[in-house]
Structure 1
Amino acid sequence: MTIDAAIARWCARPIDTGHPGLTLTPLVLGPEGVPVVTDAEQAKAAPEAAVLSAMAHGQSASAEAIGAAFLAAAAGLDEERRAVYADLVLSSLNEAVRRTLEATMKSGYEFQSEFARSYVAKGREEGLREGTLKAKAQAVLAFLAARGLEVPAEVRERVLASTDLAELDGWIRQAAMVSDTRELLTTTDS
């Protein structure tokens, strides 16, 4: 199996084994043997064919239509297959299509498929969590600074590196009571 038509032709050449009457004809699947799947219903009926279509034709003029058909099909897949197939499809599409899809996502387009909506929601949740972590870490440091306490580099780095919301909440409360910022880290570690 190859996505390169020239390699497919080369690999499909008969091989003379040297034994009279015995010539091996390899079975090769190249781009010509893979249908271009641009119809959403066809992609829903055979999502694996849509994935192969993207792999074989994702650099062609049909790439955008192939990607759109796959997105429609992906809504009906279980989460694991959807993730693996989406990764294969997106990595197979040409750069122009990827840029177009990114521009569409940034323009406020509302995705129609459950697949796309679930990934957008997941991204928002992760972004919100990251923003909350950063805000809480900054709050700890701001509270300590407002109290006039020196914040050594190791304390600053540890606070900014925290990925535990409960730990950061505890540090915010402790920042009101510690007399030395190093105590902040020992009060929650013990």
Structure 2
Amino acid sequence: MVTSSHEALHRIFQKDPGVFGRTFRTLGLDFPEPVETALMPTDLTETEPLERRVDTLLRMETADGSAYLLAVEAQSRPDPRKPASWCYYAAHLHAKYQLPVILLVTCQDKATARWASGPFTVGPAVWPLLTMRPLVLGPHNVPVVASADEAARDIPLATLSAITHGRDPGVAAILERLAEALKATDEETAAIFAELTELGLGSYPGATIWRQLMAVDLSFFRSETSMRLRQEGREEGREEGLETGRMQKGIEDVLRILDRRGLAVPDPVRERIEASRDLQEIEAWFDRALTASDAGDLFEPGG
């Protein structure tokens, strides 16, 4: 079953693909910063009925004109079936796109991270045909954000840190730094990464801490003015939706009456009826449709 923490551990790379390179540069692997990123289809199924999907797939374009594929998998526990799937993903993607492939596995506990690091081999011990060596991010190598200022400089990396250290006894301090950093960013960004953090923490105790921080430290998002504006926006949206629904229903009723009465509806007439966004006009057409001898009569008088 796909859990909320599983979703957050790969969705964060969709929100900010550059966090991949920034994280690994701190670990001594100098992946170039992408200058352009495209979200790729995650369905790797071929003609056979077995469905295969990678969690997130990104095409990363770099400044020197090269490109590579980044496949991100979130792994909650060791699974002996996974290495074979990962080998399939890498081979299939390389064959399909003719690009280098990197498999990134994100974990929230050290035991799973150690297992996921492999290497995994396909073939007999005397002659391994394939060797799979995923890159792994987890509590063992994702840096702990040391201060709110550091978190504010890289919100996505701070979010990844909070999620991967979700089981750490000191997670409360990590979450406090992230919450403080979110105060300094815009509301939309803060809302996105606050939600990803809560999803990523899942059922860990840190999730309760995070919800408390959101209720207190980020209460400026819930000010009386901002809540009133959002409520007004929701009410306006509901009213617009209701009126649009009434107009659409009225248009359908007008055309249905003309059809039931056996009146031909030329394309220009039909297009004018369907294009109307005036509820009073549609209601007038409805009344005329009951007695009109020709569809064009709908637009009289004042047609």
Task: Provide TM-score, normalisation by structure 1.
Answer: 0.51
The Cα shift of 1:41 comes to 1.2
Contact conserved, 1:38 with 1:62, CA < 8 A, in 2? no
- Residue number in structure 2 paired with 1:41: 149
The separation in 1 between residues aligned to 2:181 and 2:213, in whole angstroms, is 22
Distance 1:24 1:81, change over 3 A: same
Structure (1 or 2) with the greater strand fraction: 2
CA positional deviation for 1:97: 6.6
Question: Within 1, Cα distance between the matches of 2:192 and 2:148?
Answer: 19
Contact 2:167 2:206 in 1 (8 A): no
For structure 2, which runs of at least 5 residues remain unmatched after alignment?
1-105, 232-237, 240-303
Distance in 2 separating the partners of 1:4 and 1:45: 26
Counterpart in 1 of 2:227? 125
CA RMSD of aligned residues (A): 4.0
* Counterpart pick for 1:51 among 159, 168, 188: 159
Tell me, in whole angstroms, the C-alpha distance in 2 between the residues paired with 1:122 and 1:60: 36
State how many pairs are aligned.
Answer: 131
Which residue of structure 1 aligns with residue 107 of structure 2? 2
**Equivalent residue, structure 1, for 2:120:** 15
Task: Identify if the C-alpha distance between structure 1 residues 45 and 22 changes in structure 2 by more than 3 Å, giving closer, same or farther.
Answer: same
Q: Which residue of 1 aligns with 2:172?
A: 64
Alignment of 1:13-162 (within 5 A): 13-18=118-123, 23-93=131-201, 94-95=204-205, 98=208, 102=212, 111=217, 116-121=218-223, 125=227
Q: Is the 8 A contact 1:59 1:92 kept in 2?
A: no
Partner SS state of residue 137, structure 2: coil
Q: Is the 8 A contact 2:120 2:131 kept in 1?
A: yes
Partner of 1:153 in structure 2?
none
CA distance in 1, matches of 2:132, 2:221: 47
Matching residue's letter, 2:222: V
> Secondary structure of 2:151's match?
helix
Q: Is the 8 A contact 2:108 2:166 kept in 1?
A: no
Q: Percent identity?
A: 31
More helix by share: 1
Distance (whole Å) between structure 2 residues aligned to residue 96 and residue 2 of structure 1: 16
Letter in 1 for 2:151: A
TM-score, scaled to structure 2: 0.34
Pairwise CA distance, 1:31: 1.7
Q: Deviations over 1:120-173 (max 9, x none)?
A: 3169836xx7xxxxxxxxxxxxxxxxxxxxxxxxxxxxxxxxx98xxxxxxxxx
